[in-house]
Structure 1
């Protein structure tokens, strides 16, 4: 740790009070060695505060400014995530009406608007496959930082402006505004540059949707246009479920079939009934309406939502091998296509 982060401070908090352990810790140069049972919560916090103050005293002005800049950036990133979350899920009840002017400065005054929506998945079997929700959000933040550095003003081109919006846990939307019509060649360049930047996060596999260019004219950017762009980008990335080998999954909005809720309930009931009766023929017949290929294709959200309901442990008792297979599917919102590919 010291080789990688020379300025790091180490405080050991342990239940082991043996002197030999403490002696070894002192030889290694730890900043404090605290015995759990001998410390109050406040004493533990005081020890951490003391070390933090020592770190700050050793920092020069540039380091302090950089640390504060990063903290502010992370706070703003969290606010963006919360704002886009409400916007994407808005059904008219959350009343997301205001556009934060400080984020959309330049983009709001553009004549043309388009977007790159970037997603990624963590391959099964890799160390990163078991990331917690907080670690996924941290990864998203790191991806955002790298893209901001790589897709700078020189890469965007004169007269173009960009705002980066995090969506859920593993999606980013880059809204790009321009005074002049954006050419397809330029958008492809930006898409390839973004994919190249994401190679830094191997083995994470990334994919991208290039949205259509829309003319705003002299009308100001509206909250509806932003929301429509975000949803369109997410639907575009959903196509990756069917095309797992394509890095750029589509340049236009994908059209998916959405099932009627009543129809879904009937199908689920038929499948569960067949499983409870252990009727293989009825089971095959009832799931065939879901597994067959449609044109247009079924939205992955619907497919995975139905699967989750059909195989809910409250309905049916499944063999351990099946449960293990189902556990490999991540049902969390925003990660429904992490293990996408074949149905």
Structure 2
């Protein structure tokens, strides 16, 4: 499951033309090499690091689910992330219209639904397959928005990957032996991820900086609180559980938000989306290293098909 993607910061164009010495400095071979490496690979590294943080945070969440349950972990994550974002952003609450608040509430509902369904999913099925099914939501959104015939090819490729995952029989932790309810939760989380993307963009247009994100996170935390308390009760107040929940919040929310915000200042949105398509592979790696969730070659091939379909759909978009 991805972190929230803040709206990219806009960089105003400079109003003056650099002098000749300045032009010479900026166009020297050394500066071109340094700028090329930093400009091309720096933001990419930030996005990949954010994805690693998110998925290893999800792996940590699986480890503490026996203590607090899936709903309890969601509550800990969203509440901790909301407190951090509200403290850092200090968003204003006055001067907004009813439509503005409606948008941020819808964003919070989508965020709560995406997190809640995803954590219910990884409580039942391996992390890699769960993220693979979840990413179908943004992929479907990309196909619908693009309205290009070639994206039907990418949709078919993704469908082939899912059929391969669910149909080869598997074994152990293979995809063929998935809990049907866990798979359904993952697909539902993907649908909420698509809604999350839509309302994230709308919120970014109505609220400055990350104010809308902080407010939406608070809404999501309030929504998840009753469910978390009902499932975990006083276990949420155990110091060790609180500390681990804070770790999940930092790895899955606070750190990725920061890295993605820095990356989006220098990285085109389509490139960012393509890099986000690597989430299933990162999730499978985290599941293997942290949770010892092995996968077969057919599972890996199926995940690769879904990743390729996501990348192709994003690259086929225009505008």
User: What TM-score results when the alignment is normalised by the length of structure 1?
Assistant: 0.24
User: What TM-score results when the alignment is normalised by the length of structure 2?
Assistant: 0.26
Bigger relative contact order, structure 1 or 2 (CA pairs below 8 A, ≥6 apart): 2
Q: Which has the higher helix share?
A: 2
Q: Which has the higher strand share?
A: 1
